Amino acid sequence: MLELHGVEFSYPDTDKSIGPIGFSIRKGEVLSIIGGNGAGKSTIVKLIGGHLLPLSGKISLNGKSIENLPARKRSVATVFQSHALFPNMTVLHNVLLPFKVRGGSLKHAEKKAMEILDSVGMCNFRDSDVASLSGGESQRVALARALACEPDVLLLDEPMSSVDRERRIEFFELFYKLKKSGQLDCPVLLISHDPELVLALSDRIAYLHEGKIIENNSVLETIKNPSFSSSITFLKLGNSIPSNKIEAITNHHSEFIFIASSDVMYIEDIDTLKVIEGQLLKVAYYNEFFYCFIMSKDERVTLIISKNEPPKNTDFVSVYVAKQQIRPLKNLNRVT
């Protein structure tokens, strides 16, 4: 378990600071921290990773204090926004680095590295130069290298910022597979501006505002009770529909309307409204929710999260909701 208690930090000669910060992440749990630019998200990653030292407070990993340890002595692996691969090395040699640092048999290390590359679908690229890889391929190699560290904590700092939508959906599936197989069972901290990534992968979502965590809820609570959650406004692509697409609710005078996951239906009923229809690009099931990516005629892709399973054996769906369950986003709690 990763735990932070009363952690504070400020950058010298600036008014930028965070804290006191406190949260915990259990083994196998994914916590996402969201917030505006400059809120302090990357600072938290650097504090946990050992690239910054806190002014006060405690950071512990499996019950042991690590806040004063150098980065190399912490069992923490990070997948950075830039992926930070070594361009003068092949894919295999990038993944071998953590094994070389630990020492031991090179033959055994190569066997383990190939197993990890296979788990992320990159074993056929073992001898490729990393400079020749696409953004999605680089991201998989960066994740493989992080897994090779056998970390007690995995930090994902904007890992999908340079990857297109199709690759992001592939990453969702890869992440689900690694968690289900037990290859990724350590605490995971995700920093991202990508609402689809956050909603699809997280167990809990924390909202960071001006250096302080003002909200820390389960995904279920975030999605089911938007009036309680300012973070759903920040993540307004999840279960939000442009109101100008729905003539029957223009009197809400709100740019977006929100649908709670338990209210999503795929069959028309009495007193329901069709809120979106289009091509069903992808469906993923995780944490008891269905994550459906739907592309409408204007080629806008919307993430619909529902408790109800979408229709099978079809690539076109319509989403309905009871009229009384539609809520304008402007009425939700909001941090300004």
Q: What is the pLDDT of residues 95-105, one digit of tens each?
A: 998 888 887 78
Write down the pLDDT at residue 228: 43
Amino acid 249: pLDDT: 45
Task: Give the C-alpha distances (Å, rounded to integers) separating 328 from 66, 114, 187, 267.
Answer: 45, 50, 35, 22
- Cβ(9)–Cβ(43) under 8 Å? yes
Instruction: Tell me how crowded residue 268 is: count the other CB atoms within 10 A of its CB.
Output: 10
Residues 273, 280: Cα–Cα separation, whole Å: 19
First to last CA, the chain: 33
| 3-class DSSP state of 317 | strand
CA separation for the pair 270, 285 (Å, rounded):
28
Q: Which two tokens stand for residue 223?
A: 């999605």
Q: What is the pLDDT of residues 313-327, one digit of tens each?
A: 888 888 888 777 766
Residue 159, preceding peptide bond in cis (omega within 30° of 0):
no
Tell me the C-alpha distance between 22 and 59, whole Å: 9
The rounded distance, in Å, linking the Cα atoms of 77 and 245 is: 44
Given a cut of 50, whether residue 247 has pLDDT beyond it is no
In DSSP terms, which residues pair with 8 in a beta bridge? 56
Give me the sheet containing 188-191, strands edge to edge: 76-79, 153-157, 188-191, 30-34, 204-209, 212-218
Confidence of residue 56 (pLDDT cuts 50, 70, 90): very high
Residues 6+ apart with CB under 8 A from 178: 119, 120, 147, 184
- Residues β-bridged to residue 319: 276
| pLDDT one-digit tens code per residue, 259-283 | 666 678 888 877 787 878 888 887 8
62 alpha carbon, distance to own chain's centre? 23
* 288 or 249, higher pLDDT: 288
- Write the single-letter amino acid at 336: T
- Residues 175-186: tens digit of each pLDDT: 888 888 888 889
Amino acid at 243: S
Is pLDDT of 86 > 80?
yes
Q: Which helix (H) or strand (E) holds 19?
A: strand 17-25
Q: Is the peptide bond before 151 cis (omega within 30 degrees of 0)?
A: no
Q: Is-contact 83 122, C-beta < 8 A?
A: no
Cβ–Cβ under 8 Å, residues 94 and 138: no
Q: What ranges do the domains of the chain cover?
A: 2-228, 240-331
Asked whether the predicted pLDDT for residue 335 surpasses 50, the reply is no
Token reading at 17 = 């600071």
Is the separation of the CB atoms in 48 and 223 below 8 Å? no
* pTM metric for this prediction: 0.72
Cβ(85)–Cβ(122) under 8 Å?
A: no
Give the rounded percent of residues in the chain with a pLDDT score beyond 90: 27
Q: What is the mean pLDDT of residues 92-115?
A: 87
In CATH, 2-228 is 3.40.50.300? yes
- Of the pLDDT bands very low, low, confident and very high (cuts 50, 70, 90), residue 37 is confident
For the stretch 63-74, pLDDT in tens is 999 999 999 889
**Which helix or strand (DSSP H or E) is residue 263 part of?**
none
C-alpha neighbours within 13 Å on the C-beta side of residue 197 = 25
Tens-digit pLDDT profile for residues 119-155? 988 889 989 988 888 888 888 899 999 999 999 999 9
Average pLDDT of the chain? Answer: 81
State the amino acid at position 214 in one-letter form: I
Question: CB burial class (10 A; 0-12, 13-18, 19+) of residue 60?
Answer: middle
